[in-house]
């Protein structure tokens, strides 16, 4: 704060009033006495300009605080054209601007240029410093832990052990997969960071609709981790109980617990109002996906899997692959062939104000439409990001229909877990995981030209109920 106040002596604006990802913006209308300002954020794809405010040169300074998270388009007109506008014969200036945090800018509407009165700061310096420290610290701690474990194991080699002690050690090693625990810890750390605002960094937050940023990986990672654990758990339970029916009953019980806990969490802050209670959510999707994926795995897991061959993991999962691909094919057919009233076939956009509001009520296309039919609009999430950016109605990013595409993410984890079971040598596992990763990445890249990567249509986002900083007159 002292640094901001020191900089504020060089400018008439008090930079201490600015928050994270904010800047000051002033306007100079030149010879004009009044003008109407329309703005368009880069975050709102294919949206029309939105009316911001009327500018009056006689009122003196017109400076405001503005968000710097996204690039902006500014449009000045001589006449008021209403709330939204695409083109106007009265416009006299249109320009793009990428503003920086804690900067001070002035738009000269006469020459249609942006002047920088005070340079912004590099908001990523602290992030890069902290990331470097954590990375180097992690490498150092990992190196020390490796040396410590090596010395510990060497010492144990010379210690006398009974058969019971050897059995206990072997059981302890089989219970945990260290690499999976490490990955789970990284995912939890990132989840906590993202849920707490991601430090205000836009690149670490969720994308509003189409696209992919770091925060958008959190939920798929957890789904994949759950998938890795499924074959390990199913194989162990079948071996212990000898009954697939008991395994399925256990899976169903755990799924119901997850779903019930999720419903209870949805009552926080709003109370148990059943007439408007949001039914689905993060834990609910976990419960549904666990029941479907683990249930299929319990039914189809081979009684006597092959122990020799080049494709042991693929052979063990062939029936499951056929089932999951069939489910995914059904999902795609519904997405592109089902007729949604008032919407074009295969619509995957956010609806609302984009495309001149032609598809106002088409948010999510088939996904949003079926969720409304299954649950009713009042039981969907009422404050999605599309509501604030695209001016849409309720839409549930964790709705029931979205379980169909996200089940494939869990099953890819099942594939990785099966590889872990079938192959004992690290090199064999690594080669197969790299191959599966490469194939999945290549296929995802190719399919993205037809179906955009979208976080709302198949997996969860954690949304804080807040608007992106817009304009606030001081």
> Catalytic residues, which ones?
206
- Other Cβ atoms closer than 10 A to 269: 7
Of 27, 20, 21, 67, give the one whose Cα is nearest residue 44: 67
In this structure, are residues 65 and 23 in contact, taking their beta carbons and an 8 Å threshold?
yes
- At residue 146, the 3 state secondary structure works out as helix
Query: Could you tell me which residues come within 8 angstroms of residue 429 by beta carbon, excluding any fewer than 6 positions away?
Result: 419, 420, 423
Phi, psi of 112 (to 5 degrees): 55, 55
* Among 83, 80, 78, 79, residue whose Cα is nearest residue 40: 83
Q: Find tokens 């995914």 and name the residue.
A: 328
The Cα–Cα gap between 69 and 208 comes to 12
> In which element (H, E) is residue 164 found?
helix 163-175
The full DSSP string for 255-297 is: HHHHHHHHHHHTTTTT---TTT-----HHHHHHHHHHHHHHHH
Q: Kindly provide the b/e burial profile for residues 271-307, where b requires at least 16 CB atoms within 10 angstroms of the residue's own CB.
A: eeeeeeebbbbbbbbbbbbbbbbbbbbbebbeeeeee
Nearest-angstrom CA–CA distance, 325 and 405? 10
Q: How far apart are CA 101 and CA 69, in angstroms?
A: 8
Phi, psi of 60 (to 5 degrees): 90, -135
The Cα–Cα gap between 451 and 437 comes to 20
46 Cβ neighbours under 8 A, 6+ residues apart: 349, 354, 355
Q: How far apart are CA 297 and CA 417, in angstroms?
A: 12
Return the residue matching tokens 């990567």.
Answer: 453
């Amino acid at each position: 704060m002292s640094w901001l106040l020191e900089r504020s002596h060089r400018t008439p604006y008090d930079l201490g009033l600015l928050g994270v990802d904010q800047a000051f913006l002033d306007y100079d209308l030149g010879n004009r006495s009044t003008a109407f300002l329309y703005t368009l954020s880069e975050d709102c794809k294919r949206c029309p300009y939105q009316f911001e405010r009327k500018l009056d040169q006689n009122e003196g300074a017109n400076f405001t605080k503005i968000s710097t998270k996204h690039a902006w388009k500014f449009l000045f007109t001589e006449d008021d054209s209403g709330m939204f506008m695409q083109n106007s014969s009265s416009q006299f200036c249109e320009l793009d601007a990428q503003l920086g945090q804690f900067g001070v800018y002035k738009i000269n509407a006469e020459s249609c240029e942006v002047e920088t009165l005070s340079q912004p700061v590099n908001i990523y310096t602290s992030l890069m410093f902290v990331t470097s420290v954590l990375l180097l610290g992690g490498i150092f701690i990992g190196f020390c832990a490796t040396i410590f474990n090596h010395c510990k194991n060497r010492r144990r080699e010379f210690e006398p052990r009974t058969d019971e002690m050897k059995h206990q050690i072997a059981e302890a090693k089989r219970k945990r997969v260290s690499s999976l625990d490490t990955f789970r810890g990284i995912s939890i750390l990132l989840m906590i960071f993202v849920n707490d605002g991601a430090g205000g960094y836009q690149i670490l937050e969720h994308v509003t609709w189409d696209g992919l940023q770091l925060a958008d990986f959190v939920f798929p990672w957890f789904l994949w981790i759950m998938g890795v654990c499924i074959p390990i758990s199913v194989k162990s339970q079948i071996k212990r109980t000898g009954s697939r029916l008991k395994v399925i009953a256990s899976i169903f019980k755990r799924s119901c617990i997850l779903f019930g806990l999720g419903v209870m969490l949805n009552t926080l802050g709003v109370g148990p109002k059943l007439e408007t209670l949001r039914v689905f959510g993060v834990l609910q999707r976990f419960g549904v996906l666990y029941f479907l994926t683990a249930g299929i795995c319990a039914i189809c897991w081979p009684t006597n899997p092959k122990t020799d061959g080049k494709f042991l993991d693929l052979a063990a999962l062939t029936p499951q692959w056929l089932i999951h691909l069939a489910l995914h094919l059904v999902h795609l057919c519904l997405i592109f062939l089902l007729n949604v009233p008032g919407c074009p076939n295969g619509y995957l956009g956010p609806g609302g104000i984009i495309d001149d509001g032609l598809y106002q009520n088409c948010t999510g296309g088939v996904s949003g439409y079926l969720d409304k039919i299954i649950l009713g609009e009042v039981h969907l999430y009422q404050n999605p990001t599309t509501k604030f950016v695209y001016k849409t109605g309720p839409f549930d990013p964790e709705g029931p229909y979205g379980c169909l595409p996200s089940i494939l993410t869990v099953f890819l984890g099942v594939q990785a877990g099966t590889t872990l079971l079938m192959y004992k040598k690290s090199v064999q596992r690594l080669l197969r995981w790299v191959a599966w990763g490469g194939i999945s990445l290549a296929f995802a890249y190719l399919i993205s030209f037809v179906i955009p990567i979208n976080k709302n249509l198949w997996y969860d986002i954690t949304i804080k109920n807040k608007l992106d900083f817009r304009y606030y007159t001081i």
